[in-house]
Amino acid sequence: MKILTKPAACCVFLAAFMFAAMQPVKAEANERCRAIAASIEDAGFGDDVSVECRRGHAIIHSDAYPDHELMTGIVGTNELVPVPALDHAAPIPLRPSIGDRPLTRDSSLGVAVNGVPIFDYTAAEEMSQADLTHHQTRHDTVLTKQLDNCGGHAGRGDDYHYHASPTCMIAQMENAGDAAIIGWAFDGFPIYGDNNPDGSPIRSSTLDVCNGQPDATFGYRYHTSEDAPYIIQCLMGKVANFDRLVRIPPLKVARGRGIRDIGRPPRNGVRNLVFTEYASGARSMDYTYRGQAYYVRYSPSGRANCYNFKTRTVTNKGAIETGVYCR
């Protein structure tokens, strides 16, 4: 057996060629990683949100719980409440490319720069290809008044997320303006506000079915808009393992089986819904319906990531219920 102590000339050449070929790819990924991290730092959310770049993705870590007003102003409440996630790890591809068809799902499609997930505008099940081409007014969270004053609400995982422009987050951003990136989609492309990054208005019919358009810097970009679909409603780029993208699961019964029940928006909605957070860590969502008072109250139980709940909801016909639920 002949053992080579030095690489053969052909192998040296091949290795050098492969190394040189990989440099632009690596540089592109590193540049996109820096852009994603900078969008969070420049917005002023670096203390609460972190970015880890590995295996071709920038992983945006957060508890998916924003530091702004929550839930207040909702009329069509599902009687769910926001609870911090343990570690919402949102994967953003570092070398994105446009796919051959729009991708939809019944969960988040991206993440805001404050770490909060971004959904499409509906509260329905997963959109079909046909659903993308018409306005689903019955499931429109804006029209049905299911969103708070900040464009978000809590979903089936008792998780806070946005369904429309995150106005309160944008007001907090240190770099607020048309050129500021407000989030990243799970296909690797950035999300901007209502205008083009240069401040010019977006002409009617410019945005495609996913609420995006070509971009000279990133190849493609998404936007928010005053009219439906209000925010990203599908993904135009390729996404590996699309069906296994991150989602926040419902709260589970402590030391038992089952999850916290999902509520149903009461007919004609509730009145005077106010969400309050206390220094102790306790939270309360209070509202009225047909002259009766209802609430969802919860506080840390003393067990890590678990909460004592006491509720009187319209969904449960006013019965007072208690329980301990955990992330």
Kindly report, residue by residue over 156-194, the tens digit of the pLDDT. 999 999 999 999 999 999 999 999 999 999 999 999 999
249-282: burial string, b at 16+ Cβ within 10 Å, e else:
ebbbeeeeeeebbebebbeebbeebebeeeeeee
Q: What is the dihedral of CA 143, 146, 152, 158, to 10 degrees?
A: -150
Q: What is the pLDDT of residue 126?
A: 67
In this predicted structure, what is the pLDDT of residue 254?
Answer: 94
Q: What sign for the dihedral angle of Cα 143, 177, 37, 234?
A: positive
pLDDT at residue 10 in the model? 45
**pLDDT below 70 — which residues of the chain?**
1-24, 124-126
Structure confidence at residue 23 (pLDDT): 57
Residue 8 pLDDT: 46
Q: What is the pLDDT of residue 261?
A: 87
Cα separations (Å) of 204 from 87, 127, 254? 39, 24, 51
Q: What are phi and psi of 38, to 5 degrees?
A: -65, -35
For residue 124, what pLDDT is reported?
A: 67
DSSP state of 185: E
Look at residue 129 and give its three-state secondary structure: coil
β-pair partners for 90: 60
